[in-house]
Amino acid sequence: MTAITYIDPARLPYPFCPGCSHGTVLDRLNEAMLRLSLDPQRVVMVTDIGCVGLSDQWFVTHAFHGLHGRSVLYAEGIKLAAPDLEVIVLMGDGAAGIGGHHLISAARRNIGVHVVLFNNFNFGMTGGEHSVTTPQEARTSTTRSGQMEQPFRIAETLSINGAPFAARRAAYDGDLVDVMQEALAFDGFSIIEVLEFCPSYYVPCNQFRKSDMEALLAGDVFPRMLEVRDERTEYATYLAAVGTDKPRRELLHGDRIEKRFEHTLSDKLDIIVAGAAGGKVLSSASLFARAGIASGLFALQHDDYPVTVRTGHSISFLKLSPSPIAQMGIEAPGILLLLSEEGLVRAGTFLKKMQQNQRVILAGDLPRPETAAAVERLKLDQLKGRMPRQQTALGVLFLFLKKHPLFPLEALRESVARAQGTERAEKLFAIAREASDDIWESA
């Protein structure tokens, strides 16, 4: 469907103050849309707050009127979700202040929305306060002795930050409709900053005439410009094309553990595995838990690690139980597996709380900590060359399971095989099965 006009004749005239440029710019936009024969049902006009925010109500297209400075975001959401829609943003210089970061981000992404930025150098709706684009030395109701801040150069800023189409014109420029036509037809993000007269505030406060506007346009800060660099892929098109189905499939169906083994636990058991970052502690504990589940146990795991990566401690708190687990925290674990100095330091608080019927297992030559619990040492140097450092956590869990058969060693082998392949599973399984009892010593 094509239109004779995109402006609803029943709603005219526009609501703006006499002499305001907004109506002129909307008329030019209407002309540009007519030249392109846009289907009004495929066009969304997006606005936010300020006088120009009223504009969408004069269009026969779809309309989206949102919060101050956020219009470009709604436009991005619409365009990403429905890339075949023409999405046009009408916003003011006030919105460019509160939502400047959003404009820059939209430009950086190159989402194919088209922004017309109505810049009349002040807040016309609330009483002529200064905005981010108020020229230096200009007087407004909040800069009585002249604006000190340097104005935000929107078109240049967006251009520098990736906008492939950035233009500046005055509202009265004869070629404004040509530039608008080009912008609307552009396959990517476009911005046209239109300099305007605010007859109610900025014009009378500064005796701002057309000659003053021309002086601004002839200066360095607000020059007429048209920068077009059509070499980037439009983002919505790009995003619609990327991705595979694999992660989605895995999330929906990936994790099915069947009960194939029997456990020997009569009561719940809390295990803490405490090692160093990079030692695969968390994933190993998780594989151990899965083996428990495959043996009919319930499991709960939460982890603790610093915000930094590959440094410091890495601890898994694991709860196994024949019945569902309510309690999350662990006060004193039945088993504390200490794999490294980092783990020893972080698990110190538990060592003090542990009792004689609980057990600390030291991997390798860690110093014996002070504790009431029974302490055993696993002499890992016996396995020198057979167990890579990266697999120590998993290997220790295999050895632990052989000594304390909470469930069959085969359950852990299967769990590891499923996640990391049969080769590693068989190797660690063999190490554990062949290890003699003298790999353990009481410490």
Partner 1 sequence: MAYAFMDGAEALARAALLAGCDFYAGYPISPATKIHLLLMDALPSSGGIAIQGEDEIASISICIGAAMTGRKALTATSGPGISLYSESIGLAIMGEVPLVIVDVQRMGPATGGATTGAEGDVQFVRWPTSGGLPMIVLAPAGLASMLSLTVHAFNLSETLRTPVILLTSKQMVLSKQTVATDEVALPKIRNRHYFSDPGEYVPYGVDKPSDIPPFLPMGASQPVRFTGSMHDARGYLTKDPEKAEQKLRHLQQKITAHAEQIESVTLDLQKGAKTLLLAYGVNAPLCEAAVQRVRQKGKRCSLMIIESLFPVPEKRLQSALQGIRTVIVPELNIGLYAESLKPLLAPGQKLIPITRVDGEPLSVNAILREGHLL
Contact positions vs partner 1 (CB under 8 A): 40-42, 44, 46, 54, 56-57, 60-67, 70, 73-82, 84-85, 101-102, 105, 239-240, 242-248, 250-252, 255-259, 286, 289-290, 293, 297-303, 307, 324-329, 331
Q: Give whichever of 192 and 287 is closer to partner 1, judged by the CB atom.
A: 287
Q: Give whichever of 57 and 141 is closer to partner 1, judged by the CB atom.
A: 57
Smallest distance from partner 1 to CB 63, Å = 5
Helix (H, G, I), strand (E, B) or coil at 128: coil
Smallest distance from partner 1 to CB 352, Å = 16
12: closest CA among 72, 54, 69, 67?
54
Q: Give whichever of 24 and 105 is closer to partner 1, judged by the CB atom.
A: 105
Contact of 136 with 148, CB cutoff 8 Å: yes
Q: Give whichever of 135 and 333 is closer to partner 1, judged by the CB atom.
A: 333
Name the E strands within 277-389. 298-304, 313-321, 335-338, 359-363, 374-378
Q: Give whichever of 4 and 252 is closer to partner 1, judged by the CB atom.
A: 252
Long-range own/partner contacts, residues 369-374 (CB < 8 A, 24 or more apart): 369/338, 369/344, 373/336, 374/442
Q: Give whichever of 68 and 379 is closer to partner 1, judged by the CB atom.
A: 68
d(CA 74, CA 332): 51
d(CA 1, CA 226): 31
Say which residues have a Cβ less than 8 Å from residue 105's Cβ, sequence separation at least 6: none
d(CA 294, CA 263): 9
Q: Give whichever of 248 and 389 is closer to partner 1, judged by the CB atom.
A: 248
DSSP string, 404-427: S-SS-HHHHHHHHHHHH-HHHHHH
Smallest distance from partner 1 to CB 46, Å = 8
Smallest distance from partner 1 to CB 400, Å = 19
Smallest distance from partner 1 to CB 78, Å = 4
